[in-house]
Chains A and B, each alone.
Chain A
């Protein structure tokens, strides 16, 4: 297992901290005029998603975490687990609800997404930034009605609910930004 010293810490580096896999977000080198230098590091715990700040003495080190992001295709949900497959090797992984988290509401069968593996076990699932989904239910918009902030809720085929403009109708396919949960546009088929 590789060891990283504080001067190798950079954004995105995956390390073990308190027995959890973490990703470094920010690393600030702090040094009093003469004296001990420190590194103030912002770290995201990849298991909990929580961001913490931790100070290290410069030169201290952390073990690397065997964490990789792999592009996979979402296959199906068996009720307990969701199943994913790497398109090159056809290797399959099953993820529990905790690992899938919020990604579940953007995952449609056959779609590609990113699965984060820790020691070859799924840790988290990240949907693509943009997904195309079909509206299964929404009120028919009344032309000219701009009340309610000019939008209406629409339920998508994955179960997600997003606000869409009034002119968008049930049965249409729309593009959504999964990072913000916002409607982007209609998709012409």
Chain B
């Protein structure tokens, strides 16, 4: 008899999950945001240069087709927005190959929502409302704090994230006894930011309150809009609590042509770095051509939020069956 037939988590964690799901649905119902479902399986996928994908085969023999398991419901939800759905939210599974660790399971649960007519500031207010509402009975939180990426980066490292100075970045890594940073990051500004932020900045964020970090460097734009006042930054926000990243949101890019170019650039990067081939979502590009309403949206990792609420330190403590038992 196998000993790992049992759940990874305690039954109490399942009850907490059910309670939190119920509260989230109540929160959005009261605000008139529509719950939707979109496919987990699709013909195209995200092009993020750093994401590993799961693929599967649809059909048999010569007619067989490759389908992707979604890395996030973003594209399908944006197509709904373009089709006139109004504000929507979804609670669903997302899949990222190779991501496994204390805070990662390759299959995980996302809460993703889009607010028509919101900008990044409006969205941050709603994120704070939701988090404070969900945490009220579990944690004694002061408030939610908003900080710019440039400010938190500078205050913890003394470095300017918007201006790449190879000498200064390398000197910082040496001071932290990480000489291998040189071979890891080379002369790529984006890699250096990923390395320094994830190793030295992120662990310090949000010790007693949620941090909303906004104004990401433009080279980490993803699907966000360029900021109107400071074109070196984009209107992107990330949520942190006790050093853990909980969510990522944007004031959404509407420009179909720019989106298409970003996809192509990312596909190019994936080819250069030897990543799995991806299929560009031309339907999303067409939807954007039709027109995406002014909106802001964010995805929150629900499993991590549950970890925080229940003071667990490993993601498997809040999952019925983590990947090793699935």
Contact = CB atoms under 8 A, between A and B. Distances in A.
A28 interface: yes
B171 interface: no
A169 to B, nearest CB: 47
Contact of A31 (B181, B190, B198, B220): B198
B104 interface: yes
B245 A33 contact: yes
A53 B99 CA distance: 20
A92 B104 CA distance: 46
Size category of the A interface is 20 to 34
B248 interface: yes
Interface string B101-114: 11110000000000
Nearest to B245: A33
Contacts of A32: 194, 197-198, 202, 245
B174 to A, nearest CB: 14
B157 interface: no
A33 B104 contact: no
Interface in A8-62: 27-38, 40, 53-59
Nearest to A39: B101
A33 B50 CA distance: 10
A7 interface: yes
A29 B99 contact: yes
Contacts of B248: 33-34
Contacts of B191: 36
B127 to A, nearest CB: 14
Contacts of A37: 50, 98-99
Given A31-B198, A36-B191, A36-B195, A58 B184 contact: no
Contacts of B187: none
B207 interface: no
Interface of B: 48, 50, 98-104, 177-178, 180-181, 184, 190-191, 193-195, 197-199, 202, 220, 222, 238, 245, 247-248
Given A29-B100, A55-B199, 7 more contacts: A7-B98, A32-B194, A34-B48, A35-B220, A38-B198, A38-B199, A58-B98
22 contacts: A7-B98, A7-B100, A27-B101, A29-B99, A31-B50, A31-B104, A31-B245, A32-B197, A32-B202, A33-B247, A34-B48, A34-B50, A34-B220, A34-B222, A35-B198, A36-B50, A36-B190, A36-B191, A40-B199, A53-B177, A55-B180, A58-B98
